[in-house]
């Protein structure tokens, strides 16, 4: 079979699987009705997997150049689905289903793909010059939506069914622009990543609480 199959890409593949399941749930293909709450949880799972896939990949010291390049490509391709397409599908699920919403639903994954492609090009150029790990990112990392959108969604019943689609759409527009805006973001350290995990756990608990008690 073509491709590379080892432990360095397991989390990347699991992230994609989670997002595809999330899209199915958001579209109502599993259970007969849209389940955006579960789709949001799948988005969070994808974010958790993506947080550590690079760390795990770098533990394999004997990776060939092709394996390294494959890892970069497969990671970005999966990220395009997980953090570009899935949030748009969730947007459709929560009410962005009018023709006027189409530009936002299209722009979001487009900006995510542009940012990821730019990252691939810049990362390849950087690795030719140095073996040091990347210290900063340009633009808002696409994986940030796995924390931003679940937090926003946790307030969807407080905002109200009538207004939440517009709020979600505005958030998508702002995030999409941030994806391709040229500004520096410091790459999080391992300590910071565990802080993000803690935030994600709190968001999950809060989301479940709000879902159960509304």
3-class DSSP assignment, residue 160: coil
Confidence band of 65 (pLDDT split at 50, 70, 90): confident
pLDDT for 83 equals 96
CA contacts within 13 A on the Cβ side of 6: 15
pLDDT for 212 equals 67
The 10s digit of each residue's pLDDT in 93-151 is 999 989 999 999 999 999 999 999 988 887 777 666 666 666 778 889 999 999 999 99
**Are the C-beta atoms of residues 84 and 145 closer than 8 Å to each other?**
no
State the Cα–Cα distance between residues 76 and 24, nearest whole angstrom: 21
pLDDT for 61 equals 74
**Are the C-beta atoms of residues 85 and 107 closer than 8 Å to each other?**
no
Mean pLDDT value of segment 201-205: 85
Which domains are assigned to the chain? 7-212 (1.20.120)
In order of 58, 75, 115, 120, 183, the CA distances from 137 in angstroms are 18, 16, 10, 12, 8
State the Cα–Cα distance between residues 81 and 69, nearest whole angstrom: 19
Percent above pLDDT 90 for the chain: 46
Q: pTM of the full predicted structure?
A: 0.89
3-class DSSP assignment, residue 2: coil
């Amino acid at each position: 079979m073509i491709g590379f199959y080892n432990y360095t890409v397991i989390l990347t593949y699991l992230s994609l699987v989670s997002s595809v399941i999330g899209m199915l749930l958001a579209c109502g293909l599993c259970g007969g009705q849209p389940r955006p709450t579960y789709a949001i949880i799948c988005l969070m799972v994808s974010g958790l997997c993506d947080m550590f896939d690079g760390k795990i990949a770098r533990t394999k010291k004997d990776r060939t150049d092709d394996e390294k390049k494959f890892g970069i490509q497969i990671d970005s391709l999966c990220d395009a689905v997980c953090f570009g397409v899935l949030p748009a599908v969730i947007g459709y699920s929560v009410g962005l289903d009018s023709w006027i919403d189409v530009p936002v639903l299209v722009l979001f994954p487009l900006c995510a793909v542009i940012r990821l492609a730019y990252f691939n090009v810049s990362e390849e150029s950087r690795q030719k010059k140095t073996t040091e790990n990347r210290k900063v990112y340009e633009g808002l990392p696409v994986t940030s939506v796995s924390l931003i959108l679940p937090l926003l969604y946790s307030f969807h019943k407080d905002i109200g069914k009538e207004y939440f689609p517009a709020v979600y759409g505005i958030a998508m527009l702002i995030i999409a622009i941030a994806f391709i805006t040229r500004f520096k973001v410091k790459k999080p350290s391992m300590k910071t990543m565990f802080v993000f995990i803690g935030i994600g756990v709190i968001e999950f608990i809060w989301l479940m609480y709000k879902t159960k008690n509304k």
